[in-house]
Chains A and B, each alone.
Chain A
Amino acid sequence: MSNTSLVFTPSFIKNPSQNGLGRYVCQLQRVVLKFCKNNGSSRGMREFIEEELVDYARSNPGVVVYLKPRRHRGPVISAEYLNGDKQWINCRNFTKVEIFKWLNLLKTQQGDTTGLRFRKLWHTEMPSIQGPWTPYTFRPSSLNLISFPNEDLSKAPEEESATDKLIELYKKQRISES
């Protein structure tokens, strides 16, 4: 197997039609079920068409369902989305239930995502509400009243210096010796 079929195109979540922001529109516009009337590999597909298809079409009036019988070819589901994507599923030897599940998946999808890998599971147009940090963010406002140079602020921190520490050590030594 060549490596290309294992590598996915990295992409980000997109919703170009802004679906769901106003009202939700099912993005699957039509689906074509292609099958053979004789061959065993289309058996599940034929069963689905006989038993379930009318219910499926009735419950999804926004999806146009076409049937395309053709001799000696494998069963196929071909789906078309509003954004122009086409998805093709080979249903060879699929059972009735499998076909039902695939059709339901196609109905709830926004487009063909096969071969895509989402780099992030979050999409936003406004990454920050409170704004980016600037050197002035969170600066205490009392600094506004101070005039520079300021004596208090320019004082060296009151820490023990290395010299002080040495003298301290020396003194301790003297005490312990005496």
Chain B
Amino acid sequence: MTSLLRNIFPKFTCMLKSRTVPKKLLPNITPLNFFSNVPSPTPYEIVDQNEKNSERELIKSDIIRKITEKVQNEGEPLFAVVHVAGKQFKITRGDIIVIEGYWPPDAGDKISLDKVMIVGAKDFSIIGKPLIQNGLVRVDATVIEKTVSHTKTHFKKKRRKQYKRINFYRIPQTKLQINTIRFVGEINNPPDVSEVKTRSIK
């Protein structure tokens, strides 16, 4: 399924949820021809591979236009999946995430999370392969706390060998407050050459 969509939209993949509104009332919806006699449960528009190129392009530009319109509305809450320090987090504005292990940023630092894998709003999701285009979305965060976890125990024992060890350790933790997630670039129109403007710790 995903691979199919990837073939169709080479730069990015997007999905539109189908609305449960009486069809009569909606203007110009692209006909969906994926039914046999039993309706398929699939939520996504699957475009026939054999369809003409121009029609495919039309649908693609239509979807991009719809998403661009949505993006212009600033009140629209966005979510993103970001890759930070080896782990992935699903975040929205105002979230707090904890990064475990040694991580250099200090409390009070403002950083931007550049490895964005998914960004979405109520009606659409943009999914990267694996990252979405650089400079499309900006995720700002503040380091609010650097602390250590609770004391964890590491207990080792070998039976019948008079061997028993117990170690205590605490892991450094960094708390990140997500400040904003917003679109800054143009959808599906990446610059030919992108320069590294900001340095960030990956």
Indicate yes or no for A touching B, C-beta below 8 A.
Answer: yes
**Interface 9-residue window, one of B15-23, B157-165, B184-192:** B15-23
With a cutoff of 8 Å between Cβ atoms, the chain A residues found around residue B77 in the complex are 126, 129
With a cutoff of 8 Å between Cβ atoms, the chain B residues found around residue A141 in the complex are 18-21, 23, 26, 29, 32
**Interface 9-residue window, one of A41-49, A70-78, A110-118, A166-174:** A110-118
Q: Is the CB of B17 within 8 A of A137?
A: yes
Q: How far is the CA of A17 from the CA of B177 in the complex (A)?
A: 12
Q: Interface residue count for A (Cβ, 8 Å)?
A: 43
A136: interface (CB < 8 Å): yes
A165: interface (CB < 8 Å): no
Question: Considering only CB atoms, which chain B residue lies closest to A142 in the complex?
Answer: B32
B198: interface (CB < 8 Å): no
- Produce 1/0 per residue, A13-33, CB < 8 A to B: 101000111001011000000
Question: Does more than half of chain A's interface fall in helix, strand or loop, or is it mixed?
Answer: loop
Q: How far is the CA of A115 from the CA of B150 in the complex (A)?
A: 7
B24, B78, B94, most chain A CB atoms within 10 A: B94
Q: Is the CB of B79 within 8 A of A129?
A: yes
The listed residue (A13, A107, A153) touching B96 by CB distance below 8 A is: A13
Q: How far is the CA of A156 from the CA of B98 in the complex (A)?
A: 53
Q: Is the CB of B23 within 8 A of A24?
A: no
Minimum CB–CB distance for A13 against chain B, Å: 5
A108: interface (CB < 8 Å): yes
Q: Is the CB of B95 within 8 A of A121?
A: no
Within residues 69 to 90 of chain B, which ones have a CB less than 8 A from any CB in chain A? 77-79, 89
Given A126-B92, A144-B22, verify A15-B97 contact (CB < 8 Å): no
Minimum CB–CB distance for B23 against chain A, Å: 5
Q: How far is the CA of A125 from the CA of B91 in the complex (A)?
A: 10
Q: Is the CB of A143 within 8 A of B39?
A: yes
A21, A26, A105, A139, most chain B CB atoms within 10 A: A21
With a cutoff of 8 Å between Cβ atoms, the chain B residues found around residue A115 in the complex are 150
Q: How far is the CA of A117 from the CA of B62 in the complex (A)?
A: 49
With a cutoff of 8 Å between Cβ atoms, the chain B residues found around residue A145 in the complex are 23-24
B146: interface (CB < 8 Å): yes
With a cutoff of 8 Å between Cβ atoms, the chain A residues found around residue B92 in the complex are 124, 126, 129
A109: interface (CB < 8 Å): yes
Q: Is the CB of B98 within 8 A of A118?
A: yes
Question: Considering only CB atoms, which chain B residue lies closest to A135 in the complex?
Answer: B20
Q: Is the CB of B121 within 8 A of A129?
A: yes
Q: Is the CB of B179 within 8 A of A20?
A: yes
**Interface 9-residue window, one of B1-9, B47-55, B100-108, B128-136:** B100-108
Q: Is the CB of B23 within 8 A of A142?
A: yes
Q: How far is the CA of A102 from the CA of B39 in the complex (A)?
A: 64
A15, A122, A124, most chain B CB atoms within 10 A: A124
The listed residue (B23, B37, B108, B150) touching A155 by CB distance below 8 A is: B37
Q: Is the CB of A138 within 8 A of B41?
A: yes
6 CB < 8 A contacts A-B: A6-B153, A20-B142, A20-B177, A113-B147, A130-B120, A145-B23
Q: Which 7 A-B pairs have the closest CB atoms?
A: A138-B43, A121-B98, A20-B177, A20-B142, A108-B107, A20-B144, A108-B146
Chain A positions near chain B (C-beta within 8 angstroms): 6, 8, 13, 15, 19-21, 24, 26-27, 105, 107-110, 113, 115-118, 121-126, 129-131, 136-145, 152-153, 155, 157
